């Protein structure tokens, strides 16, 4: 049986994708070994390799991509600068856990 983790971000507003350098935008792609489901609290990530669940209390700041498709991009919506920094840290944690991968936007 897998283990569960959580990332608290309650009360956040949506944010925009990061810019890694001026004029260059990145997006957050969900790898094929991760499933994401939208929940009332935010997102539920499931890593099929380890059967680990991660609960992300993001409200409607982040939206799950479709389960299938060529590019499963995590949708991040616009917000103010302060909330955007919080979402940016959250996305960094998801990247560190291997639940999303940073990719240059097409």
Write out pLDDT tens, residues 56-90. Answer: 998 888 999 988 777 899 998 866 676 788 888 99
Write out pLDDT tens, residues 3-44. Answer: 455 444 333 333 344 444 556 688 999 999 999 999 999 999
pLDDT at 17: 45
pLDDT at 23: 61
pLDDT at 101: 95
pTM surpassing 0.85? no
Judge whether residue 1 has pLDDT over 80. no
pLDDT at 15: 39
Per-residue buried b or exposed e for 62-89, using 16+ beta carbons within 10 Å of the residue's own CB: bbbbeeeeeebbbebeebeeebbebbee
Task: Reply yes or no on domain 4-104 having CATH 3.90.930.
Answer: yes
CA 28 to CA 82: how far, in whole Å?
A: 20
Q: What is the mean pLDDT of the chain?
A: 79
Domain ranges (residues) in the chain: 4-104
CA 9 to CA 68: how far, in whole Å?
A: 27
């Amino acid at each position: 049986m897998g283990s569960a983790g959580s990332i608290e971000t309650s009360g956040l507003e949506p944010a925009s994708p990061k810019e890694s350098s001026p004029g260059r935008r990145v997006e957050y792609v969900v790898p094929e070994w991760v499933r994401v489901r939208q929940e009332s609290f935010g997102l539920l990530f499931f890593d099929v390799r380890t059967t680990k669940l991660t609960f992300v209390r993001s409200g409607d700041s982040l939206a799950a991509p479709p389960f299938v498709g060529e590019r499963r991009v995590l949708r991040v919506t616009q917000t103010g600068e302060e909330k955007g920094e919080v979402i940016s840290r959250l996305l960094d944690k998801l990247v560190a856990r291997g639940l999303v991968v940073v990719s240059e936007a097409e």
